[in-house]
Structure 1
């Protein structure tokens, strides 16, 4: 699709009518689930041979107010977690493996058998209760020894991750059908290696985020090829990757604003997903990065190119796309570059984005409730990537009220976002196979226990980490049972 056609397509799609609540049943093979991740729920940060990861290191050495040392204590309470899943009636549970719990040094020369047994026990408990595991291999928790060697900035990371992924396939692949290599590469790279907002807190704006991204997608391809050549024939599973993406809506029907919205999308999908589909970054991203780099006096683009061999190796290495989606922004073209010399992901995109004050506000500044953005994004994915298989791997609503069990706003969020997913399937023909709500329970939201996404409340002041069902859990239980968006 040429760029003019893209702009016309977006302009037409902007006029998509927001429909009434779609209460038709989802397709018979559609799956419902919930998600968590290892560092956010497990605790037991140094028990039974587990090694230190970058979140352990940063939260301990920089004196953060909150750590993941105990979290929800799921390392000891995983059977309670599965009982909650059983109560909800979900088809699948998305969780992640702790690299440091399995490999304390990050390398496969030392396997921690206690960690292996923990995940085998969890998977068995899930399967015994009719719940399919959807397993994320890396959800932000790099082993600290590997970070000390450069982490994603070390080209050897591709081999390190390949070895780790192969071990996971060997240990758990007979019971796991769907794998996710990385969670949210944009957050990992931009916020970890660009603006230094999350561990490993490396300030590398303009270079670090792109170096990280290149090695990350190559590492995904390495894991995919290992699975494809060594495990697929026997285990008959699939390997995907998770990208988080907002929907970017043009704030007018002007050509330049429609173009700005497309550029914003390409700086998400064109960096991390397109290389795994056809072997290279989006041309929009490449051209913009080359232009900015040249203007700034560099001899070559700050976005390092892939070799021909790498392009061939990466192409076609996604069995499905995992989508994390929460909110929407309005996007417009910048009238002028505020600082042409500035480097970094947000400067390189060259757009301005905002959320109107009258959009409903969730428990975090970024989280505005915009259900129609879900449908538009799904339709864009279909049109851009030739209707790939999509698993919605995260979608949810945060609040920051203590002990809020009557969480009607979360119910409203789930209801309306799911309705738009149903519209995308029925009306737009998008190939959405599953929906995963974030999250099963309140957990460690990357620096805080005050932000709540859970269907179950967790009392973090109790040594038992007591779980209590919220009103939203009862609602989601009805959705799963009826396979449709229901009124309360």
Structure 2
């Protein structure tokens, strides 16, 4: 049994625990009032077979109608923060900013006020995968005009809620928005990894930057809030010495492609990856790189558009070169086909119910240390981490152990590596619609329970988050 000094069991003063959700995964009411169709409504209604259990998000957790119960659950868990997302199509039913839904506006306003009344800080994500279908019909995230459409949407949200919301996220997991979408895995179900994915990559960075600049110039002086961007970070480690260089390139591919333009001192694409993709594109017969270039003005627009670094983390991978004739690719976020590598797990990493998530707690600490080394000593906010399971067993010992292991590594990063982690949000507040897994996979964070059931305090996520370390390290 690992034993550490008592000081290592202490979270820093002001450290905040929370839980997170996303609009499409919990709200339901897909066509209530004047809400318009999103790309997820469109995909699943036309291709229900794409979801493992054939389900959809039409009702989901019914949070649109049962938001008061959501707030009660957050309060019962003793959460400091609750991160939820706005539905673009609920707030702006035609997508463009000149028409605001009165019902959509009121729904989020009531939710925010109720959270504040319970002493829970709302953390609001502007975009969590659910683009208006109208904009997808115009090219979606591959259309450079989407950056302006998003910025206008952000301005509306800030004008309505910035007086009460002090922490904002522009985009959740752009690597999922672009990489998973343009390899045909998630909505809008487009297969164009060669070009479309990288167009999305650039345009989503531009959208974030424009929204950040609007907040910084128009709303921060009055409301003193903070705003940033969430990246999905997977830890990559080499299978051996021969793979060390390509592993560093893989980290640039999955992480720095969405980090370097914002968080580095110089801005722009990560240099090694930019060179690699240029060289490969020319060899493939293209006249220029498939990774679209930034102008000097665009580099400056994007560079420095953050107030903290927000990250989601679920798993780690081992990197090795593909053997002769071996197939590469297969996981939406890995870049293995582009880089000619194979990603796998070590035999001793524990499985979960989700095929791509294997447990490697040390990888979580490694990610935090890597980020500090790459982008400096700044504030880091863990916005999602959790454990997928199946079934309805309330004796959730495996999930308890998961949090013991991962929180131990986070505290080591804080106390020994001096990474300034300021908060931690578990996924999720409740079981919800888990994208292509539907309802077959239970929420990745809280102890298993049926939708809308009440947990006793001894089963609460915050209880696990705050005392799990004492039981495992004490």
With structure 1 as the length reference, what TM-score do the two structures score? 0.89
Aligned to 2:470: 486
Q: Does 2:14 match 1:25?
A: no
Count the aligned residue pairs: 457
* Counterparts of 1:338 and 1:355, CA distance in 2: 17
Aligned to 1:58: 43
Q: Does 2:192 match 1:204?
A: yes
Give the drift of 1:404: 1.7
* Counterparts of 1:223 and 1:175, CA distance in 2: 18
Kindly tell me: are residues 251 and 164 of structure 1, through their superposed partners in 2, closer, same or farther at Cα, counting changes over 3 Å?
same
Is this contact kept in 1: 2:250–2:335, CA < 8 A? Answer: no
Give the drift of 1:213: 0.5
What CA deviation, in whole Å up to 9, does each residue of 1:278-330 have, x standing for no partner? 42010111011011111111111111110111011111111112110011111
Q: Does 2:27 match 1:42?
A: yes
Aligned to 2:431: 442
Kindly tell me: are residues 386 and 356 of structure 1, through their superposed partners in 2, closer, same or farther at Cα, counting changes over 3 Å?
same
* Counterparts of 1:19 and 1:378, CA distance in 2: 22
Secondary structure of 1:44 counterpart = coil
What CA deviation, in whole Å up to 9, does each residue of 1:186-240 have, x standing for no partner? 11101112x1111101111211110001000010000010001100111111111
Q: Does 2:352 match 1:352?
A: no
Kindly tell me: are residues 475 and 322 of structure 1, through their superposed partners in 2, closer, same or farther at Cα, counting changes over 3 Å?
closer
Aligned to 2:154: 165
Aligned to 2:331: none
* Residue of 298, 310, 316 corresponding to 1:310: 298
Q: Does 2:248 match 1:257?
A: no
Aligned to 1:68: 57
Aligned to 1:4: none
RMSD: 2.1
* Residue of 229, 233, 236 corresponding to 2:217: 229
Kindly tell me: are residues 204 and 19 of structure 1, through their superposed partners in 2, closer, same or farther at Cα, counting changes over 3 Å?
farther
**Unaligned stretches of 5+ residues in structure 1:** 1-17, 460-464
* Residue of 293, 298, 305 corresponding to 2:281: 293
What CA deviation, in whole Å up to 9, does each residue of 1:52-109 have, x standing for no partner? 1011111112234111000001111111111111111111001100000001111112
What CA deviation, in whole Å up to 9, does each residue of 1:395-428 have, x standing for no partner? 0000012x22111111111111011111001100
**Unaligned stretches of 5+ residues in structure 2:** 329-333
Aligned to 1:220: 208
With structure 2 as the length reference, what TM-score do the two structures score? 0.92
Q: Does 2:415 match 1:415?
A: no
Kindly tell me: are residues 230 and 19 of structure 1, through their superposed partners in 2, closer, same or farther at Cα, counting changes over 3 Å?
farther
